[in-house]
């Protein structure tokens, strides 16, 4: 460490900044952090935090963020989020201050260990590994991700600090380039937001989702934000009207409580619009009423139910919407009572009932959970979750993207709770089948499962379970896993065990393939070596030697094709390919001749004849849509819309294969897209619609179907348009027709 200024008013290294205003800004952030941390500081802690701050400021002294501000403001902001929004303590603050030093500066892990000890060095090491994950290729990414999850199960603070880091990066994403914004937002919504949800950090999860949507779907985000702003006064008036009788009734119970309304997040409103197929004005729960009770631990449940009875007296509840997480808390520790009631003006309103302790766990998740757990014998659901992750990681032997997908569906999904015949509760991801339940009991039970009884009624192994189901598994010693079982399970444990069993079966069959291949290689004068097997597997585009031998055994591979191979000594050499896929080399980010200019592909522009491309069938982009290019193996460049259903997964898992893409005007080409029209069924309505499309706008119709029921019609029209502007003009004209209620785009297929 270089010489530091010792004056307590000047904690920043004297040569780290030259501008006095910046020095004051940094000190202001540092002191704000200390004030927030004050209740948790013990003797000597202040000096240790100061040392971490000085080391970080010194290490980052020449660095600036994309925003132009001194880099040290980022670690300070991350540390502040850790303390203020997650509720972490002194050690986590030190780790947050140092989290980027090992990766970005000359400061090493041994320096951190020497100054702060093994525990802090280990957390910083875990944070450094996470930073490298999303920039790696997919298979390496999976391996790193496994290491991170193992670190997480050893010390969850690693992921909590990383979530704080990601949140601050998302809050300052405006200064990044558009393609970087898309990639980072996709990673965030794909992995980090679900992880925040799973750690019980609902507020952070919502903010991460909203910020991701701001960049991935900017138009929709702005539209909903604008509508929320416009309806704020009306919402406030309604909330006050709804709360008034409740407050009066609750005051008579002598409970210590607070009651208020809060808006739902933009992302959750958008999800409801998509899932329910409704407009913004039709989303009934744009806000939720929250009631927080100050209650003793032993009276918590009874006080919450007391509040529920008061609400049920004031407003009619919707029985099927009652959510009791008091009796069965979520495995991330969330406890509450949710009910939906019919409020004034016939509007449905969600009411959430929690105690102050439950509210802190809901806001600060894991950190608060452990705080309240100290000194009690409460069953730790987080520990069970971590144990399950460890078990799956240790048995995993799958490809990278499969691993990440399994992890998402198994450990980051919403949960249901089900019962064994003896009444024991099992928590499973939403969408779990009877087969998932069987594997959750024991691997041997899952492998022999032939069916189940749900509430004493016989169901197949593929039967989807619902919360509250009681299940009894039926087994047979003659049963064994088959390939189609993978279609019926969502849990990582079930998938891993099925794959293990299938692999074992494959190995037995592959022995025959080994014998056939050995004879073939002997006849060619080549040796049966791992190197030669890899060459042949690559030639047939297979992922492993086992897959090669298995396909030979079941006669899915014709070994006569090996005649084109040459043998040098005893080593096989593949025939030289006649055509090299130009696009794979032209857009290889690791190639030395790769330049920024090459990534700016212009669709239908001068460079289009140099590139093999096609438009993605999953989202059917048209000129004017925000798009990106994806370099796929075998198909060349595939153009997707940035709000394509598959975009998030592609950009987060294969960031190195994303190419910046923009449209060039070309009025000679038309593109197929679809419009869904809903309105009042009236005489001549179809004629009016077709007149606008074909007559007024001279647009070709590729297909038209109209269904009518109870005076309302729904039309699905496929049209050929030149670009997004023409489509938007068509939508505006159709909406002017009397009786038409909505016109929405859908992705038409040829």
**pLDDT for residue 585:** 31
- In this structure, what token pair is assigned to residue 468? 């509250």
Backbone angles phi, psi at 531, to 5 degrees: -60, -45
**pLDDT for residue 307:** 93
Helix, strand, coil shares, percent, the chain, to 5: 55, 15, 30
Contact call for residues 187 and 194 (beta carbons, < 8 A): no
**pLDDT for residue 392:** 60
Contact call for residues 283 and 263 (beta carbons, < 8 A): no
**DSSP one-letter string for 621-653:** --TTS-EEEEEETTTEEEEEETT-TTHHHHHHH
**pLDDT for residue 125:** 83
- In this structure, what token pair is assigned to residue 528? 């049966």
Half-sphere exposure of 184 (CA within 13 A, CB side): 22
Q: Is 424 a catalytic residue?
A: no
Which among 382, 428, 425 is positioned nearest to 409, based on CA atoms?
Answer: 428
Catalytic residue among 103, 119, 285, 324: 103
The dihedral over CA atoms of 677, 678, 680, 681, expressed in degrees to the nearest 10, equals: 60
Pairing of the two strands 613-615 and 636-641:
parallel
H helix intervals, 177-230: 178-187, 193-198, 202-216, 218-230
Q: Is 103 a catalytic residue?
A: yes
Residues of the chain with pLDDT under 50: 1-17, 134-142, 374-379, 398-400, 577-601, 604-609
Catalytic residue among 104, 119, 154, 535: 104
CA quadruple 552, 553, 555, 556: dihedral sign: negative
Name the burial class of residue 3, with classes exposed (0-12), middle (13-18) and buried (19+) by CB atoms within 10 angstroms of its CB.
exposed
pLDDT digits (tens, 9 = 90+) for 698-709: 888 888 888 877
- The rounded distance, in Å, linking the Cα atoms of 136 and 157 is 23
- The rounded distance, in Å, linking the Cα atoms of 750 and 743 is 20
**pLDDT for residue 388:** 63
**pLDDT for residue 138:** 43
H helix intervals, 442-592: 443-447, 492-524, 530-539, 545-553, 582-586
Domains, the chain, with CATH or none: 20-216 (1.10.3210.10), 225-373 (3.30.460.10), 582-663 (no CATH), 671-746 (3.30.70.260)
- The rounded distance, in Å, linking the Cα atoms of 688 and 738 is 10
**pLDDT for residue 740:** 87
Coil, helix or strand at residue 733:
helix
**pLDDT for residue 607:** 44
- The rounded distance, in Å, linking the Cα atoms of 240 and 302 is 26
């Amino acid at each position: 460490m270089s010489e530091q200024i010792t004056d307590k008013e000047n904690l920043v290294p004297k040569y780290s900044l030259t501008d006095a205003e910046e020095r004051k800004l940094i000190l202001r952030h540092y002191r704000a952090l200390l004030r927030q941390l004050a209740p948790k500081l013990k003797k000597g802690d202040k000096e240790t935090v100061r040392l971490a701050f000085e080391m970080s400021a010194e290490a980052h002294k020449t660095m600036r963020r994309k925003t132009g501000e001194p880099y040290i403001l980022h670690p300070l902001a991350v540390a502040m989020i850790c303390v203020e929004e997650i509720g972490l303590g002194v050690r986590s603050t030190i780790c947050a201050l140092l989290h980027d030093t090992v990766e970005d500066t000359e400061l090493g892990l041994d320096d951190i260990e020497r100054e702060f000890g093994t525990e802090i060095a280990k957390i910083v090491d875990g944070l450094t590994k996470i930073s490298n994950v999303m920039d790696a290729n997919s298979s390496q990414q999976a391996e790193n991700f496994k290491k991170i999850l193992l670190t997480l199960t050893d010390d969850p603070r690693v992921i909590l600090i990383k979530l704080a880091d990601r949140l601050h990066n998302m809050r300052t994403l405006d200064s990044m380039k558009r393609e970087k914004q898309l990639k980072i937002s996709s990673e965030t919504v794909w992995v980090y937001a679900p992880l925040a949800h799973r750690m019980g950090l609902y507020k952070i999860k919502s903010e991460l989702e909203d910020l991701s949507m701001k960049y991935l779907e900017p138009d929709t985000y702005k539209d909903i934000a604008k509508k929320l702003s416009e309806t704020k006064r009306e919402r406030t008036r309604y909330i006050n009207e709804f709360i008034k009788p409740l407050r009066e009734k609750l005051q008579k119970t002598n409970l210590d409580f607070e009651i208020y309304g809060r808006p739902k997040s933009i992302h959750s409103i958008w999800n409801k619009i998509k899932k329910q197929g409704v407009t913004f004005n039709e989303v009934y729960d744009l806000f939720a009423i929250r009631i927080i009770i100050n209650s003793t631990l032993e009276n918590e449940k009874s006080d919450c139910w007391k509040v529920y009875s008061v609400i049920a007296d004031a407003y009619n509840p919707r029985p099927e919407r009652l959510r009791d997480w008091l009796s069965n808390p979520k495995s991330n520790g969330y406890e509450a009572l949710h009910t939906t009631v019919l409020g004034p003006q016939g509007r449905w309103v969600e009411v959430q009932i929690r105690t102050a302790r439950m509210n802190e766990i809901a806001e600060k998740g894991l950190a608060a959970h452990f705080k309240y757990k100290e000194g009690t014998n409460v069953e730790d659901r987080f520990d069970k979750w971590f144990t399950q992750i460890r078990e799956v990681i240790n048995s995993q032997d799958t490809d990278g993207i499969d691993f990440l997908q399994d992890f998402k569906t198994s450990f980051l999904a919403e949960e249901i709770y089900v019962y064994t015949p003896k009444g024991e509760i099992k928590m499973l991801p939403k969408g779990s089948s009877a087969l998932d339940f069987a594997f959750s009991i024991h691997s041997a039970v899952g492998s022999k499962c032939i069916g189940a009884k749900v509430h004493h009624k016989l169901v197949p192994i593929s039967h989807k379970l619902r919360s509250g189901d009681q299940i009894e598994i039926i087994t047979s010693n003659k049963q064994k896993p088959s390939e189609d079982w993978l279609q019926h399970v969502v849990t990582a444990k079930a998938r891993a065990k099925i794959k293990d069993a299938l692999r074992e079966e494959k190995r037995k069959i592959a022995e025959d393939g080994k014998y056939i291949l050995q004879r073939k290689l002997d006849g060619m004068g080549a040796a049966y070596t791992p190197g030669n097997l890899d060459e042949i597997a690559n030639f047939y585009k297979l992922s492993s030697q086992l897959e090669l031998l298995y396909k030979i055994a079941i006669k899915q591979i014709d070994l006569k094709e090996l005649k084109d191979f040459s043998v040098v000594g005893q080593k096989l050499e593949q025939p030289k390919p006649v055509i090299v896929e130009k696009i794979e080399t032209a857009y290889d980010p690791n190639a030395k001749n790769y330049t920024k200019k090459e990534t700016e592909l212009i669709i239908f522009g001068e460079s289009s004849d140099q590139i093999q491309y096609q438009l993605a069938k999953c989202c059917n982009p048209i000129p004017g849509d925000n798009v990106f290019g994806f370099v796929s193996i075998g198909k060349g460049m595939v153009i997707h819309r940035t709000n394509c259903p598959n975009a998030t997964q592609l950009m987060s898992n294969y960031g190195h294969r994303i190419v910046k893409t923009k449209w060039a005007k070309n009025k000679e080409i038309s593109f197929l897209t679809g419009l869904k029209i809903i309105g009042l069924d009236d005489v001549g309505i179809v004629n009016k619609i077709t007149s606008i499309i074909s007559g007024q706008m001279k647009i070709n119709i590729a297909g038209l179907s109209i269904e009518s029921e109870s005076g309302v019609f729904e039309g699905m029209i496929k049209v050929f348009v030149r670009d997004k502007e023409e489509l938007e003009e068509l939508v505006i004209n159709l909406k002017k027709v009397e009786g038409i209620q909505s016109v929405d785009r859908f992705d038409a297929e040829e």
